[in-house]
């Protein structure tokens, strides 16, 4: 079995109105990774995601799952979408049932599972995203952040191997972003592959194992997140540099090398801890 759980090989796609979205795009998603996908508006992130679980078919090229070309038959798509779950950016595009429990039940019920198995999966999914107490609430009475959690629960109830989230942090306040990050990290610890499209460069630098950067429908760069997201061509394309990386760089220019503590800080919290540790060492 290949180490890549999903692969795009020379994929191109044009929308029916002729708008080009992907242009000979080739990339790989490593199994078990936390992968951040970045790029400016129009770079092709959402279009790429819609190819990963077969919603869109390439105009040219091929998409692979575990090294095997996607099977676009009805049975092939049913199997793929039980393995690769997609959470849309706008939760209202994904929620359509009257209550939370009904909505989360929809996917596993369509898989033909026994009623007892469906109930178990729904309860486990709601627990994972902290929505158990809201199980019987009408979907339209939920907050924006709660709706996003229900969308994730609906995907989790399918027990996929890969979860793909399009801008999951958009519209969430800082506390809700932290809560969602904790949920995603918990899922990743179970072995799940997590793929996130984001405009938040600082989040990607601090959270992701690997980064994919798209530009005009093509792959600009991919690999280790801390290395890729500090490359000059990537920072130029994204119009920014990760704040923590820039602070690390500027501290090194005045003789403060935080690598003395044996790791390079990637988040603001880690940076503050590293500075405190460095200060304590200097004062000994």
Structure tokens at 70: 């996607």
Give pLDDT, residue 1: 46
Closest CA to 36 of 132, 164, 147: 164
Report the C-alpha gap between 193 and 184 in whole angstroms: 10
Structure tokens at 262: 């044996």
Sign of the CA dihedral 153, 155, 159, 161? negative
Q: Starting at the earlier edge strand, list the strands of the sheet with 34-38.
A: 84-87, 162-166, 193-197, 34-38, 210-215, 218-224
Question: E-assigned strands of 190-281?
Answer: 193-197, 210-215, 218-224
Concatenating the DSSP letter of every residue in 18-77 gives: S-EEEEEEEEEEETT-EEEEE--TTSSHHHHHHHHTTSS--SEEEEEETTEE---SHHHH
Give pLDDT, residue 75: 93
Could you tell me the residue ranges of all domains in the chain? 4-96+161-240, 242-284
Contact between residue 121 and residue 108 where contact means Cβ atoms under 8 Å apart: yes
How long is the chain? 284
Q: Which residue has the tokens 């800080």?
A: 265
- Burial category of 178 from C-beta neighbours within 10 Å (exposed 0-12, middle 13-18, buried 19 and up): exposed
Q: What is the CATH number of domain 4-96+161-240?
A: 3.40.50.300
Report the C-alpha gap between 128 and 111 in whole angstroms: 21
Residues in CB range of 79: below 8 A, 6 or more apart: 71
Closest CA to 72 of 55, 48, 49: 55
CA-only gyration radius of the chain, Å: 20
Other CB atoms within a 10 A radius of the CB of residue 113 amount to 18
Q: What angle do CA 198, 200, 201 make, to 5 degrees?
A: 110
- Written as tens digits, the pLDDT of the chain (284 aa) is 468 999 999 999 999 998 899 999 999 999 999 999 999 999 999 999 999 999 999 999 999 999 999 999 999 999 999 899 999 888 888 888 889 999 999 988 888 889 999 999 999 999 888 889 999 999 888 888 889 889 999 999 998 999 999 998 887 788 888 888 888 888 899 899 999 999 999 999 999 999 999 999 999 999 999 999 999 999 999 999 999 888 888 887 777 777 655 667 888 888 888 887 777 766 66
């Amino acid at each position: 079995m290949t180490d890549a759980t999903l692969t795009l090989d020379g994929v191109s796609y044009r929308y029916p109105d002729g708008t080009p979205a992907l242009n000979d795009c080739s990339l790989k998603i490593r199994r078990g990774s936390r992968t951040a996908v970045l790029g400016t508006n129009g770079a092709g992130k959402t279009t790429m995601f819609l190819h990963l679980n077969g919603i869109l078919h390439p105009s040219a090229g091929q998409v692979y799952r575990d090294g095997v070309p996607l099977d676009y038959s009805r049975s092939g798509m049913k199997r793929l979408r039980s393995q690769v779950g997609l959470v849309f950016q706008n939760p209202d595009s994904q929620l359509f049932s009257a209550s939370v429990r009904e909505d989360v039940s929809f996917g596993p019920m369509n898989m033909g599972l026994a009623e007892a198995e469906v109930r178990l999966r729904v309860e486990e999914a709601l627990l994972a995203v902290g929505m158990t107490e809201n199980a019987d609430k009408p979907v339209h009475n939920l907050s924006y952040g709660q709706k996003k959690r229900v969308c994730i629960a609906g995907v989790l109830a399918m027990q996929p191997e890969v979860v793909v989230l399009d801008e999951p942090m958009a519209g969430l306040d800082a506390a809700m972003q932290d809560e969602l990050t904790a949920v995603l990290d918990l899922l990743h610890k179970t072995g799940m592959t997590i793929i996130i499209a984001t405009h938040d460069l600082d989040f990607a630098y601090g959270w992701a194992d690997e980064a994919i950067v798209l530009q005009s429908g093509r792959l600009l760069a991919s690999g280790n997140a801390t290395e890729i997201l500090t490359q000059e061509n990537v920072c130029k394309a994204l119009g920014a540099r990760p704040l923590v990386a820039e602070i690390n760089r500027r501290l090194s220019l005045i003789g403060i090398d935080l690598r003395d503590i044996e790791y390079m800080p990637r988040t603001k919290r880690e940076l503050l801890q590293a500075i405190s540790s460095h200060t304590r060492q200097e004062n000994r």
